[in-house]
Amino acid sequence: MSLTQVENLISSRKEQYLNQLFRLLKQKSISAQDVGVRECANLLKEMMDNIGINTRIMETAGHPVVYGEIMNDPNAFTLLIYGHYDVQPPEPIDEWLSPPFEPTIRDGKIYCRGVGDNKGQLMSQILAIKTYKDVFGEIPINIKLVFEGEEESASANLAEFVKENKELLACDLVYTSDGPMHDSGSPFVLLGVRGMLYVELTAKGAEWDNHSGNKGNIVPNPAWKLIDLLRTMRDENGRVLIEGFYDDIRQPTEKELQIIKELPFNQDDIAEKIGYSKLDMDGEMYYRKLTLEPTFNIAGFTSGYGGEGSKTIIPSKAVLKMDMRLVVDQDPDDIYEKFCKHVKKFAPDIEIKRLGDMKPSRTSADQEIIRVVTRAVRNSFQKEPVLQPSLGGSLPDYVWTKILNTPSVVVPYANFDEANHSPNENMGVNNFYDGIKCTCYVINEISRFYSKTKIQHNVELAD
Ligand SMILES: [Zn+2]
């Protein structure tokens, strides 16, 4: 069996594969505006059926999931591929150099809304199945595909869908290709995400804004109320003082700490990219803070007069928005409870509103399957992958690790500057083909790993 045949077949079908991608790209599927989503689900189902993937459309309380499977042997390794077929709204449209839903190639890149996020990556995975089947005759493992229709609308019904279909979705590994590759052009292997809790605090003073002289010292200032509360929540070194905030944080393993030390880090380059020239830390601290530690961030603070010149008032209201990025195994429900308890104790009249949350996730880098996937990605790209224990940001990865109880890995195929969510979203034509190749390598490496474990299993049975 030769993976060279896979590469040759992809080369000979470049135009055909591109046309299939273009067909999917032309079909709008803007979940936030409810434009074309159902039509796109139908089209995707048709395309998957044509490849021999047994596909159906499954309803949720929102937009449907397109579910497909190739089941060869109930005892074989089962890979679940997750992606999404919905896209962000294209606005502002006049900033696009070519119409957002007419795929156009310029300088080796396909420009279209949704090409990087996530249709190009999703089609790479589907077309890998076709390629692999056509080269080798069959897929050596079981594959399940879950393509969601509302990822760009916060995956509102994904957790419920996974809860309701645990048995159907049971698998040995969840594999996602979404987001950009590392900025060095190296492939990423991401093992988790930070979660989030978003809260809003409102402090009130008088019924309306008052004169700061005529009523000064008489009417309380709600901005000070919030600042006084904040001082009880965090010390000058940034440590959160809310009781129990750090209790459930899982200690990183030796391997994870080792990985962090080896990640590429260029302080000046990062400082420039974030617009903060005073950045002063080494790579180890950078990645520890970014991937293994929670944050306690003030996202917005509004009170009183912020316009030009001066206005002498005591504001009647102050509003604070905070997002806390959480790491495994902090639970947003638990952290919210602890947060409320703290506010009740120090400022009982401040109102709390919970605006959103997501659980964190992490798959252990020590698992054999992670080594298998990393090896496949390395061999496919002929480059050392950047293995990162967690993304700094948040994705609903917990539905796999916490609800399905399955390891999960994210291997993005899009270029670093894919401009997803922005005008002129793009994906390199070669990123698309490389994605097809990489998925074939992953299927192949997993099947080799599986047959190895099967042999061990048989030996055990023989005993
Ligand atoms: Zn997106």
pLDDT digits (tens, 9 = 90+) for 352-383: 999 999 999 999 999 999 999 999 999 999 99
pLDDT of residue 458: 36
User: Which residue pairs from 93-96 have beta carbons closer than 8 angstroms and sit at least 24 positions apart in sequence?
Assistant: 93/423, 95/423, 95/424, 96/423, 96/424
Q: Is residue 257 part of a domain?
A: no
Q: Is residue 72 part of a domain?
A: yes
pLDDT of residue 456: 47
Alpha carbon distance 30, 176 (integer Å): 21
User: How far is ligand 1, taken at its centre, from the CA of residue 306, in Å?
Assistant: 33
Q: Is residue 277 part of a domain?
A: no
Q: Taking a C-beta distance cutoff of 8 angstroms, is the pair 176, 385 a contact?
A: no
Q: pLDDT tier at 462 (50, 70, 90 boundaries)? A: very low
Q: Taking a C-beta distance cutoff of 8 angstroms, is the pair 343, 335 a contact?
A: no
Average pLDDT score over residue span 140-167: 96
User: How far is ligand 1, taken at its centre, from the CA of residue 445, in Å?
Assistant: 29
User: Which residue pairs from 363-367 have beta carbons closer than 8 angstroms and sit at least 24 positions apart in sequence?
Assistant: 363/191, 363/192, 363/401, 363/407, 363/408, 363/409, 364/191, 364/253, 364/255, 364/256, 364/407, 365/191, 365/253, 365/255, 365/256, 365/259, 365/389, 366/253, 366/255, 367/407
Average pLDDT score over residue span 275-299: 94
User: How far is ligand 1, taken at its centre, from the CA of residue 430, in Å?
Assistant: 21
Running DSSP on this structure, what letter comes out for residue 4?
H
User: Which residue pairs from 219-227 have beta carbons closer than 8 angstroms and sit at least 24 positions apart in sequence?
Assistant: 219/314, 221/314, 221/315, 221/318, 222/303, 222/315, 222/316, 222/317, 222/318, 223/303, 223/304, 223/315, 223/318, 225/318, 225/347, 225/349, 225/350, 226/201, 226/301, 226/303, 226/318, 226/320, 226/347, 226/350
User: How far is ligand 1, taken at its centre, from the CA of residue 362, in Å?
Assistant: 20
Residues 394, 349, single domain; the answer is no
Question: Residue 451: helix, strand or coil by DSSP?
Answer: helix
Residues 148, 242, single domain; the answer is no
Alpha carbon distance 183, 272 (integer Å): 13
Alpha carbon distance 340, 377 (integer Å): 44
Residues 374, 336, single domain; the answer is no
Q: Is residue 323 part of a domain?
A: yes
Instruction: Tell whether the model's pLDDT for residue 130 goes beyond 50.
Output: yes
Domain membership of residue 111 as a residue range: 3-193+361-462
> Which string of b and e fits 229-241 if b means at least 16 CB within 10 Å?
bbeebeeeeeebe
Question: Residue 118: helix, strand or coil by DSSP?
Answer: helix
Residues 46, 111, single domain; the answer is yes
Q: Is residue 261 part of a domain?
A: no
Q: What is the CATH number of the domain that holds 227?
A: 3.30.70.360
User: How far is ligand 1, taken at its centre, from the CA of residue 83, in Å?
Assistant: 11
Residues 326, 406, single domain; the answer is no
User: How far is ligand 1, taken at its centre, from the CA of residue 117, in Å?
Assistant: 5
Residues 405, 299, single domain; the answer is no
Alpha carbon distance 239, 254 (integer Å): 24
Cα separations in angstroms, 291 against 167, 178, 187, 252, 406: 31, 18, 18, 10, 20
User: How far is ligand 1, taken at its centre, from the CA of residue 84, in Å?
Assistant: 9
Residues 217, 173, single domain; the answer is no
Q: Is residue 263 part of a domain?
A: no
Q: Which of 312, 332, 358 is the last residue of a domain?
A: 358
- The owner of tokens 């034509």 is 429
Q: What is the CATH number of the domain that holds 380?
A: 3.40.630.10
pLDDT of residue 449: 86
Q: Taking a C-beta distance cutoff of 8 angstroms, is the pair 149, 85 a contact?
A: yes
Q: Is residue 317 part of a domain?
A: yes
User: How far is ligand 1, taken at its centre, from the CA of residue 149, in Å?
Assistant: 12
Alpha carbon distance 434, 377 (integer Å): 10
pLDDT of residue 434: 98
Q: Which residue has the higher pLDDT, 102 or 273?
A: 102
Alpha carbon distance 396, 399 (integer Å): 6
Q: Which of 338, 358, 378 is the last residue of a domain?
A: 358
User: How far is ligand 1, taken at its centre, from the CA of residue 8, in Å?
Assistant: 32
User: How far is ligand 1, taken at its centre, from the CA of residue 240, in Å?
Assistant: 31
Q: pLDDT tier at 3 (50, 70, 90 boundaries)? A: confident
Residues 151, 57, single domain; the answer is yes
Residues 199, 312, single domain; the answer is yes
pLDDT of residue 454: 52
User: How far is ligand 1, taken at its centre, from the CA of residue 255, in Å?
Assistant: 30
Side-chain-facing half-sphere of 48: CA atoms under 13 Å: 26
User: How far is ligand 1, taken at its centre, from the CA of residue 224, in Å?
Assistant: 38
User: How far is ligand 1, taken at its centre, from the CA of residue 61, in Å?
Assistant: 20
Residues 329, 420, single domain; the answer is no
Instruction: Tell whether the model's pLDDT for residue 455 goes beyond 60.
Output: no
Alpha carbon distance 449, 372 (integer Å): 7
Bridge partners, residue 106, by sequence: 109
The helix or strand, by DSSP H or E, that contains position 158, with its residue range, turns out to be helix 158-164
User: How far is ligand 1, taken at its centre, from the CA of residue 422, in Å?
Assistant: 10
In 3D space, the residue among 88, 67, 69, 87 whose CA is nearest the CA of residue 78 turns out to be: 69
User: How far is ligand 1, taken at its centre, from the CA of residue 93, in Å?
Assistant: 17
User: How far is ligand 1, taken at its centre, from the CA of residue 47, in Å?
Assistant: 22
Alpha carbon distance 354, 375 (integer Å): 42
Per residue in 65-108, pLDDT tens?
A: 999 999 988 889 999 999 999 999 999 999 999 999 999 999 99
Residues 301, 352, single domain; the answer is yes
pLDDT of residue 451: 73
User: How far is ligand 1, taken at its centre, from the CA of residue 452, in Å?
Assistant: 37
User: How far is ligand 1, taken at its centre, from the CA of residue 178, in Å?
Assistant: 8
User: How far is ligand 1, taken at its centre, from the CA of residue 67, in Å?
Assistant: 20
Per residue in 188-203, pLDDT tens?
A: 999 999 999 999 999 9
Residues 134, 207, single domain; the answer is no
Q: Is residue 390 part of a domain?
A: yes
Amino acid of residue 161: F
- To 10 degrees, the CA torsion angle through 79, 80, 86, 88? -80
Average pLDDT of the chain is: 94
Task: Give 132-156 as a DSSP string.
Answer: HHHHHSS-SSEEEEEEES-GGGTTT
> What's the total number of domains in the chain?
2
User: How far is ligand 1, taken at its centre, from the CA of residue 188, in Å?
Assistant: 17
Bond from prior residue into 329 cis (ω within 30 degrees of 0): yes
Q: Which of 331, 358, 385 is the last residue of a domain?
A: 358
User: How far is ligand 1, taken at its centre, from the CA of residue 151, in Å?
Assistant: 7
User: How far is ligand 1, taken at its centre, from the CA of residue 152, in Å?
Assistant: 5
Instruction: Tell whether the model's pLDDT for residue 12 goes beyond 90.
Output: yes
User: How far is ligand 1, taken at its centre, from the CA of residue 392, in Å?
Assistant: 15
Per residue in 19-46, pLDDT tens?
A: 999 999 999 999 999 999 999 999 999 9
